[in-house]
Structure 1
Amino acid sequence: MNPETEQNIMTHEEKFTLNTLQTFTGYDFEAYRHRGEAFRQRQSGAVLNALQLPDSWRTDCEMRGEWGGAHPVHLRLTRADVAGLVVELVSPSSDSPLWCAVLTDAHTRSRVPLSVSYHFEPATLRTTLEKIAEYTRAGFTGDGELVAALRMGGHAA
């Protein structure tokens, strides 16, 4: 655990805030995760709450390592109107200090980085997710069309 942020490790009664999510290091997230499934669920719930996603996005979070267990917070965001499209968001961990969001398109088997940052930036990610929703509603759902539109619009790396 990082001694500078040791006081940030929360008790079960304390609430996660956006500031908490933004100041936790990968080691802080790991320490909190190792306190048990309920604590890991609180972390994931806090991230989802900060994202304030519209109802058009479905959410799922890793609880027991079912997606590899490499990150304390690992979310999968999907849209009901577009099969095979997944946005994965992972928190910092002991192996990486970065928040990463990646779009996976099962039809093209492509993975496109949407954001990589040292800080959790829910407003920026929410804007990208809104753009994905806009593009898919406009019909950019064929092989590679969404990825091309996101890149041309500056919403993907």
Structure 2
Amino acid sequence: MYSLTDLNNFSACDFEAIRESGEVTRQSLTSDVLATIMIPEGWTVIPECRGEFGGLFPVQCRFSPVDNPAVVVCLCSPGELSGTWLLLLASPDGSVLRPLMSGEQLEPLLTAQWLARVASLCRFGCTPRTVASLLDEEVVA
């Protein structure tokens, strides 16, 4: 079992090594990452365990509101493709892809805040393009 401290001390190579060590180890790593994230009520999460999403990242979790599955937020770990954690707003067809945050460490609180922000927009039935547009227009005081 990996703690948040462990996860934040891993390099991209460490994540790749865990992925290469097998499906069970990868699932355990993904479960430990998910245990740190508060998911909005009415949302589901689908973790990649066997390359379902292309296998681009050692950890990739897709969060989506149950009643609006057209909006997807992807959490991706460091690995061969990126040396940082990524949180991305996406549409299932790939027509929308907007970075929400990127960082050297997994930030569970900030991730949960982004998920809550997107969830609040999804309550109005927004499309991924509308969510991206509204986030671009957001003014932070």
Given the two structures, how large is their TM-score scaled by the length of structure 2? Answer: 0.89
Identity of aligned residues (%): 30
Could you tell me how far 1:94 is from its partner in structure 2?
A: 2.9
Which deviations, in whole Å up to 9, do the C-alpha atoms of 1:30-82 show, x marking residues without a partner? 11122211100011101111012134221111111222212110111111121
CA distance in 2, matches of 1:86, 1:115: 14
For structure 1, which runs of at least 5 residues remain unmatched after alignment? 1-14
2:60 to 74, 94, 99: 74
Q: Unaligned regions of 5+ residues in structure 2, if any? A: none
Q: Map 1:51-90 onto structure 2 (within 5 A).
A: 51-90=37-76
Structure possessing the higher relative contact order (Cα contacts under 8 Å, 6 or more residues apart) = 2
CA distance in 1, matches of 2:10, 2:106: 10
Between stretches 41-50 and 87-96, larger displacement belongs to 87-96
Give, in whole Å, the separation in 2 of the partners of 1:143 and 1:91.
22
Runs of 4+ in 1 over 3 A off after TM superposition: none
**Residue aligning to 1:145:** 130
Question: Counterparts of 1:18 and 1:36 in 2: how far apart (Å)?
Answer: 21
**Matched-pair contact (CA < 8 Å) for 2:71–2:127:** no
Q: How many residues align?
A: 140
SS in structure 2 of the partner of residue 71 of structure 1: coil
Residue 17 of structure 2 is matched in structure 1 by: 31
- Larger gyration radius, structure 1 or structure 2: 1
